[in-house]
Amino acid sequence: MEPGYNKIEMMICTAARFLEDGKTVAVGTGAPCAAAMLAQKVNAPNLVIIFEAGGLAPLLPQMPISVGDSRTFFRGIMAAGMNEMMTTCCRGLVDYAFLGGAQIDKFGNINSTVIGDYHKPKVRFPGSGGANDFASFCWQTLVITVQNKTRFVEKVDFITSPGYLTGPGEREKAGLPAGSGPYKIITNLAVMGFDPETREMMIESIHQGVELIDVLENSSFKPIIPEKTSITPPPSERELQILRREVDPNRYIIGRQ
């Protein structure tokens, strides 16, 4: 990584650029929340942020520590509840959702439930929460995650949150909205999208200081490699200043190694 910023800052700044002004985004805490806050302050001042606990369109004064933190309602237009937020997604009114998980596969399916057999797992995680609703009914899903072989797997052990399931047309067969699905995967190494024909994960850009072989060696499946791969633009000085001074001055997120 180029000097002047770390990998977490790179991921947050990159993710923030995909959030468009005037759009809606459902987020949790951590890096996704930091990306949404940064987007509001830099490139999307009219971005509407939604928290599953009920905060709608807050102007976040500080980084919240949970989706039910009182700061997620600060200067918002509504203090509702989980039922209202989930039905808002089901009505097709949310453009973007940020998710994470223990595993993700080439079709963008996410596992945050178990590692191993469901009934006798090696590890059991918290499960879905609102993640399945977000992945099923928000139009485009983004993921910020560290990339390695244990996380990027050929097939997830359990589908907590649906991506493109087993390939083209499978979301629609399952009754999910046509045109919805995984959009961008932002890792510490690269930005991935999805091929419109096969629905498989595809490299879009590689971060500065990273080689293609690094991306491939940190995945248990081979993502589609286009004829030309671009370099992900690094964080700007303005993005870093706002991220460090206003979004996460206590370095709760960007201080992680």
Helix (H) / strand (E) containing 132: helix 131-137
What domains, with CATH codes, occur in the chain?
7-247 (3.40.1080.10)
Q: What is the pLDDT of residues 143-191, one digit of tens each?
A: 999 999 999 999 999 999 999 999 999 999 999 999 999 999 999 999 9
What's the whole-model pTM score?
0.93
Rounded-to-integer distance, Cα 200 and Cα 149, Å: 17
Quote the tokens at residue 192: 């991935």
Q: Choosing from 2, 20, 52, 217, which is the catalytic residue?
A: 52
Dump the DSSP string for 152-171. Answer: B-SS-SS-SB-SSTTSTTHH
- Is 52 annotated in the active site? yes
Q: What is the pLDDT of residues 66-112, one digit of tens each?
A: 888 889 999 989 999 888 999 999 999 999 999 988 999 999 999 99
Helix (H) / strand (E) containing 39: helix 31-42
